[in-house]
Amino acid sequence: NIQQATARQDYFTPSDAWCETLAWVKDNTPEDSFILSWWDYGYWILRMADREVYVDPCQSKGPVTKVAKMFTSPYQGEREIEADYLILDHSTVTSKFWAIVTWAGEEPSEFYAPAGFDRKLIYHPEYYQCLAVHLYNFDGKAVSPGNDILIGTNPFISPVPLEAVEGYTLVYESRQKIKGLVAARRRTLVSPIKSGCSFL
């Protein structure tokens, strides 16, 4: 009597979307590529895509704070981190966003807050203007809201106008919407890990 075994998604294992994305990174990027993503994903990128990362779960807080500040800064703001590719996922701009904001030294309530009896989130203009949100939710494109509302209830519909983000090109998107971006601009690298990478 052999029973069929089934596996379920474990919280700490990469999803199919991440596996698909990291296989693409491994097969389609130079071996010396330098990847930027939220620190949670560092080990996955190191082990599955065999690429260097800016932050990982064993990192000191300085680099994690720099990534958080870059992700929460307005897209036209100064960015101090340089890498060849940036990988963003849905959790980065939704369920993990509070942690990124906190690491950046900000209060989540500056970006969104629960409202009403059902405690539905309302999103402030600052949320939509964050680099990570603008790149993931809107592909870095210009957005014209077409109304006069200054808050939103949907993180993927901006109530404020957004200019296009320059220097980013979407090079891969998994079927489950994990996005990998590469940039054309070059700047001086602040990270002591590697130099000569193209800027995100």
pLDDT one-digit tens code per residue, 45-80: 999 999 999 999 988 899 999 999 999 998 665 567
pTM of the model: 0.75
Instruction: DSSP letter for 197, please.
Output: P
What's residue 83's pLDDT?
Answer: 86
> CA 131, CA 147: separation in Å to the nearest integer?
22
CB 54 within 8 A of CB 80: no
3-state class (DSSP) for residue 180: strand
**Which domains are present in the chain?**
16-123+166-183 (3.40.1380)
Alpha carbons within 13 angstroms on the beta-carbon side of residue 45 total 26
3-state class (DSSP) for residue 49: helix
Alpha carbons within 13 angstroms on the beta-carbon side of residue 153 total 5
Tens-level pLDDT at each residue, the chain (200 residues): 666 766 665 667 888 889 989 999 999 999 999 999 999 999 999 999 999 999 999 888 999 999 999 999 986 655 678 888 999 999 999 999 999 999 999 999 999 998 777 778 889 999 999 999 998 898 888 888 766 567 787 888 888 888 888 777 777 777 766 665 544 333 333 322 222 233 33
Let me know how long the chain is: 200
Q: Decide the pairing of beta strands 168-173 and 34-36.
A: unpaired
Question: b/e for 73-94, b at 16 or more Cβ within 10 A?
Answer: bebeeebebbbbbbbbbbebbb
